[in-house]
Amino acid sequence: MSEELVVRRISNGTVIDHIPAGRALKVLRILGITGEEGYMVSMVMNVYSKKLGKKDIVKVEGRELSSEEVNKIALVAPTATINIVRDYEVVEKRKVELPDKIEGIVRCVNPKCVTNAPREAVHPSFRVISRKPLKLVCEYCGEYLTEEEVIAQLAGT
Ligand code: CTP
Ligand code: ZN
């Protein structure tokens, strides 16, 4: 069955396609989309894909997401493509690109890190030292964060 029969095409907005199967909720979480914003969001999980076997898709109507907003989803969806849709046509298509720095999305796993101190207003900040496999290093204490830890932290949406 074609994906079109599962979720309809959108008139204007952003389609995040080729998300690894099962990761759509984590993508929404990274984007900070809760549904309370009011615009229409549709999502399919575990649909058939020629390239990936199975994939997830997220469609956000009425909002064109900027590269900056979207690139951080590469943490959990490095295969994702971003399609900007205007008047039903895809006018722009690009792959996500993990930024060199990740701020405020995941926490440092070192309990003694200043970013975990209860009264400090220091936001976690990581440098990407490996993309495949994903590996981050805390800019404050040097602790590493692995792909598994990133995925685990973003679970439970
Ligand atoms: N899409 C949509 N609404 C539109 C146009 C496209 O929801 N008005 C979705 C399609 O369903 C698809 C994605 O946006 O999931 C990309 O569309 P398109 O480039 O037409 O599809 P493909 O050529 O299959 O994309 P790719 O080559 O990236 O796999
Ligand atoms: Zn740290």
User: How confident is the model at residue 39, as a pLDDT?
Assistant: 92
Q: Is residue 45 part of a domain?
A: yes
- Residue 4 confidence (pLDDT): 56
Radius of gyration of the chain (CA): 17
Domain that holds residue 85: 13-95
Query: What is the spatial distance between Cα 45 and Cα 28, in angstroms, rounded to a whole number?
Result: 12
The one-letter code for the residue type at 6 is V
Å from CA of 126 to ligand 1 middle: 33
The closest alpha carbon to 125, from 108, 150, 149, belongs to: 108
pTM summary value: 0.91
The total number of structural domains that make up the chain: 2
- pLDDT (tens digit per residue) in 62-116: 999 999 889 999 999 999 999 999 999 999 999 999 999 999 899 999 999 999 9
Say whether both 30 and 81 belong to one domain: yes
CA of 93 to the centre of ligand 2 (A): 35
Residues 6+ apart with CB under 8 A from 26: 76, 77, 151, 154, 155, 157
Beta-carbon neighbours within 5 Å of ion ligand 2: 108, 110, 113, 138, 140-141, 143
Closest ligand (CA of 115): 2
Residues of the chain above pLDDT 90, percent: 85
